[in-house]
A and B are shown apart, each in its own frame.
Chain A
Amino acid sequence: MLDVLIPHFNDAEALDLSLRSVAAQTWRGKVRVIVVDDGSPSDELRRAEAIISSCDLDIELIKQPENRGRPATRNTLLSASDARFIAWLDAGDTWYEKKLETQFNTLYKQVYDGQDLSRIWVTCNYDWQWVGGRRRKVTQTTSGDQLKHLYVGDRLRAYLWTLLGTREAFNLVSGFDERLPRLQDLDYFISFVRGGGRLISAESSDALCCYFKSDVGRNAQEIRDCYETIFSKHGPSLNRFGVKFVRRAKAKADFVAARFAKNNRTPLVSLGFRMHAFGMDPRYTLYRAKKSLRNG
């Protein structure tokens, strides 16, 4: 049995979109969807309830009376799940119809190869779509040093909705850090890999899900603070890659925060993050500046 875990807050329409993509899966195993509503206003919650009751899927709705934030909601979902397998989806993102089938095939192949499923997460390539923009395929690379790739975030990105694994594997390390309103998935991925877990890629180079990306309304400073919390929390494992690597990872975090600030129309804040990045890793900052000039 598979539990699909979906946190929901104040966006019934997005939930509907995600549920439809679950219902359309070609994998025909037993699926239960657990939705935890994170204290949505009553009218939006009613709308979500109507969508759930009209859906053919087996759905369990858990209501949190107050808004506790994404990490606490994800922890509630993890505690509520009792199926052998778990997959994640965020309200508003979608799976393509072959996602589960492809990932289960990969997982079963691991069983035949004698691998321990309690230490494996299957990830997949995905489409990245900015609101109002074109879709772009993003490849998840699971070869090489996964911890290093997670810190840098270029080759392997920490997105829960790409994953399928056993419940044991998702409970290998502690749950989501409730101090992290953002990037709690990155922290969770890093802990998993540090704890001896391994990510493997689904046996398909196609994108298997779609991430609808928007930076609007997200606090850039909050994002940067979350990065800092993660860097200090996992400091010893980060520092073993050397000072240059640490500075590069921090400069990249500054650039992510700068992007959020820019997309939220606070150019001065964005400039501040870029200046900070320059202090951290001047070469990388100049490379980024050159690249953005070239791209216009």
Chain B
Amino acid sequence: MRQTKLCFVIDRLALRSGGAERVLIETANALHDAGYSIEIVTHEQRGKPPFYPLRPGILRANLRPANEQRGRIRRMIDRLRMKWHRSEWLPYGLRRLKWLSMHGGFKSRLGRHIDATQPDAVIAFLPPSVTALGLARFTHRPRLFASLHNVPSQDFDNPQRWDPNPVDRSFRRAALDRYDAIGILLPEFQDWFPEHLRARLLVVPNAVQPVRSDLVRQAIRDNTVISVGRLAEVKQHRLLIEAWAYLKDDFPDWTCKIYGIGPMQEELSELICKLGLTGHVSLMGDTREIEKVYLSASILAHPAKFEGFGLVITEALAHGVPVVGFEDCSGFNFIVKDGTSGLFVNGEGDRARNLSKVLARLMCDPRRQENLRAGGLREVERFAPERILALWKLAIHGPTEHAAAKFQGED
């Protein structure tokens, strides 16, 4: 019988295909298989199902009342509120009121729901739900775990991320004090946290789903360099396109394919035309068959500025694709070992030029690609699902002396 009741909280999940949403669902599925009872709580307008499949038996609860169930006057007020939420109008005296209007409902409904369901542990994913859970009022006393999925300075200091209201930023930080444990993806993120929170930090990397070894062995690789990620500034696809301008003449039989969608699509498309790379570099859009893409690619170029973790990197390694990225990119330099599972690019000077040089070195050396492929498959064993599940159990139940010793030993 399922003994331990867990409540996962995330503000939005419907049809979301992001990394954190995927980790939430994979973790919930793994814990359900391990005998836990799971409920996923959201607070969103759309009543659509999650993008990633959930195991039968996992309950979902959307705490936000549906619009059509509200009265006409209430709906009218809601529309005005939504307009205010979207606007940048934020007079000093009304900041707190705006915060309450945007997040107060989630916070109070979440508190009531926790008292009603009485879970043993509540796990909040991403800052909006970490804040809501940290500030919610409830009399029940579950273990609280905050699961963070980005560089902490981005989640807590960057005014462009999440709610730009300064009140939200201060609440985001204050809410962390209430948590029994805080999950971060990389050990280097510990430095950001104040002294009193450091003892509560737990490094829980993302799990990598194993790929059938025969598929990796028998894969027929094209002369393709791929890049996978949202078309946003932080992913620096621009650098890869510029690097390809140096490579196209020396490697006419190679192509570069960029998978993902995002706000920079038009800009990158123009850059490809401007540099005369049409037919050499392609923007492929979104795909649901990413496994096929990995199994047919030779190299993953990952020019991102920084990564919260870099699921794409671990996925590529698990599919036998060596990864090239910048040495100063967090996440990348934690997962990849230079010369073992991928190659590091010097971050100093002309980054596009540096990237092209390292890519060229690897593209003309199939034996090296093969060695890195084998090294990558060994490296990702660190992120095997059963190892990460053990860390999640530690996060849920709290460290006993024995468990803590065991995990320190493993690390």
- A residues with a Cβ closer than 8 A to B are 75, 78-79, 116, 118-119, 171-175, 179, 191, 194-197, 229, 232-233, 235-237, 239-240, 242-243
Contact = CB atoms under 8 A, between A and B. Distances in A.
B47 to A, nearest CB: 7
A171 B116 contact: no
Contact of B69 (A78, A172, A233, A242): A242
A174 B113 contact: no
B187 interface: no
Q: Tell me the dominant secondary structure on chain A's binding face.
A: helix
Interface string B109-121: 0001101111000
A116 B60 CA distance: 21
B409 interface: no
A12 B73 CA distance: 60
B62 A173 contact: no
Contacts of A191: 59
B57 A78 contact: no
Given A79-B1, A171-B1, A173-B37, A197 B116 contact: no
Contacts of A229: 116
A78 B58 contact: no
Contact of A171 (B2, B115, B117): B2
Interface residues of B, number: 23
A174 B56 contact: no
B234 interface: no
Given A173-B37, A195-B58, A239-B65, A78 B116 contact: no
Contact of B116 (A79, A119, A235): A235
22 contacts: A78-B1, A79-B1, A118-B56, A119-B56, A173-B59, A174-B3, A175-B2, A191-B59, A194-B59, A194-B60, A195-B57, A195-B58, A196-B56, A196-B57, A232-B112, A232-B115, A232-B116, A235-B61, A235-B113, A236-B62, A237-B61, A239-B65
A205 B240 CA distance: 69
Contacts of A194: 59-60
Contact of B113 (A79, A197, A236): A236
Contacts of B3: 174
Contacts of A195: 56-59
A240 B5 CA distance: 23
Contacts, number: 57
A232 B5 CA distance: 17
Nearest to A240: B66
Select the residue from A116, A174, A197 with max chain B CB neighbours within 10 A: A174
Interface of B: 1-3, 5, 37, 47, 56-63, 65-66, 69, 112-113, 115-118
B342 to A, nearest CB: 41
Contacts of B5: 174
A94 B35 CA distance: 33
B37 to A, nearest CB: 3
Contacts of B116: 229, 232-233, 235
B69 A243 contact: yes
Contacts of B117: 233
Contacts of B63: 236
B59 A172 contact: no
Given A236-B113, A239-B69, A175 B58 contact: no
A116 B55 CA distance: 13
Pairs A-B, 3 closest by C-beta atoms: A174-B37, A196-B56, A232-B116
B61 A236 contact: yes
B69 A173 contact: no
A232 B138 CA distance: 14
Contacts of A179: 118
Contacts of A171: 1-2
A194 B61 CA distance: 9
Contacts of B65: 239
